[in-house]
Structure 1
Amino acid sequence: MSSTAHPAPPALSARRTSSIHHAPGSSQHERVAPGDIAVGVVIGRASEYFDFFVYGIASALVFPAVFFPFAGRLEGILYAFALFAFAFVVRPIGTLAGMAIQRRFGRSTKLTIALFLLGTSTVSMALLPGYSTWGELSIVLLAVCRIGQGLAMGASWDGLPSLLALNAPKHRRGWYAMLAQLGAPLGFLIACSLFAYLWKNLDAADFLTWGWRYPFYAAFAINVVALFARLRLVVTHEYERDLHARELEPCNEGELFRKQGRHIVIGAFAALASYALFHIVTVFPLSWILLYSDQVTGEFLAVQIVGAVLAAAAMPVSGLIADRIGRRRTLALLAVLIAVFSLFAPLLLDGGTLGQDLFILVGFVLMGLSYGQAAGTVTANFASKFRYTGAALTSDFAWLIGAAFAPLVALGLSARFGLIALTVYLLSGCVCTLLALRASRSLAARG
Structure 2
Amino acid sequence: MERDVSKLNAEHSGIAPSEIAVGVIVGRASEYFDYFVYGIASVLVFPGVFFPFEEPLPGTLYSFVVFALAFIARPIGTIVFFNIQRRWGRGIKLTAALFMLGFATAGIAFLPGFESIGPWAIILLSVLRFCQGIGLGGSWDGLPSLLALNAPPKRRGWYAMIPQLGAPIGFVIAAGLFLYLYSELTSADFIEWGWRYPFYVAFAINVVALFARLRIVVTDEYEELLDKYQLHPVEKVSELLDTSGGSLVTGAFAALASYALFHLVTVFPLSWLIVNSSQAIDDILLVQIYGGVVAFFGVMASGWIADRIGRRSTLGTLAVFIGIFAVASPFLLDGQIIHQNIFIMVGFVLLGLSYGQSAGAVTGNLEPKYRYTGAALTSDLAWLIGAAFAPLTALGLSSHFGLYALSAYLLSGVICTLLALGINRTLNRE
- What is the aligned partner in structure 1 of residue 68 from structure 2? 85
Say yes or no: does 1:281 pair with 2:265.
yes
Tell me, what secondary structure is at the counterpart of 1:356?
helix
Matches within 5 A, 1:86-235: 86-235=69-218
Instruction: Indicate the SS of the match to 2:428.
Output: helix
The separation in 1 between residues aligned to 2:184 and 2:91, in whole angstroms, is: 40
Query: 1:355 aligns to what?
Result: 339
Counterpart of 1:310 in structure 2 is 294
In structure 2, stretches of 5+ residues that fail to align are none
Find the aligned partners of 2:157 and 2:95 in 1 and give their Cα distance: 30
Cα gap change, 1:2 to 1:407, in 2 (>3 Å)? closer
Unaligned runs of 5+ in 1: 17-28
SS in 2 for 1:293: coil
Partner of 2:371: 387
**Using the alignment, how far apart are the partners of 2:81 and 2:224 within structure 1?**
20
Tell me how large the CA RMSD over aligned residues is: 1.5
**d(CA) in 2 for partners of 1:352 and 1:168?**
45
Aligned length: 429
Deviation at 1:430, TM superposition (A): 0.4
Q: Which amino acid aligns with 2:414?
A: C
Which residue of structure 1 lines up, in the alignment, with residue 348 of structure 2? 364
Amino acid at match of 1:56: G
Question: Which of 398, 423, 428 matches 2:382?
Answer: 398
Q: Are residue 6 (structure 1) and residue 6 (structure 2) matched? A: yes
Q: Secondary structure at the match of 2:357?
A: coil
- Alpha-carbon distance between aligned partners in 2 of 1:413 and 1:111, rounded to the nearest angstrom: 39
1:64 alignment counterpart: 47
Who is 1:34 aligned against?
17
From the superposition, tell whether residues 302 and 3 of structure 1 become closer, same or farther in structure 2 (CA, over 3 Å): closer
Alignment of 1:269 with 2:262, yes or no, is no
Contact in 1 for aligned 2:322/2:350 (Cα 8 Å):
yes
- Following TM superposition, by how much is the alpha carbon of 1:33 offset from its aligned partner in structure 2, in angstroms? 2.5
The C-alpha deviation readout for 1:73-128, integer Å capped at 9, x for no partner, is: 00000000000000001111000001000000000000000000001000100000
Preserved CA contact (<8 Å) 2:5 2:215 = no
Match of 2:415 in 1: 431
Local SS of the residue matching 1:340: helix
Would the alpha carbon gap of residues 175 and 167 (structure 1) be closer, same or farther in structure 2, given more than 3 Å must change?
Answer: same
**Structure 1 counterpart of 2:242, which letter?**
R
Please, what TM-score do these two structures have when normalized by structure 2?
0.97
Q: Secondary structure at the match of 1:129?
A: coil
Structure 2 counterpart of 1:442, which letter? T
Contact 2:2/2:91 (<8 A) preserved:
no
Shift of residue 180, structure 1, vs aligned partner: 1.0
The answer for the alignment partner of 2:362 in structure 1 is 378
Q: TM-score, normalised by structure 1?
A: 0.94
Distance 1:442 1:194 in 2: 46
| Fraction of identical pairs, as percent | 61
**What's the offset of the Cα at 1:324?**
0.3
User: Which structure 2 residues correspond to residues 329-340 of structure 1 after superposition, within 5 A?
Assistant: 329-340=313-324
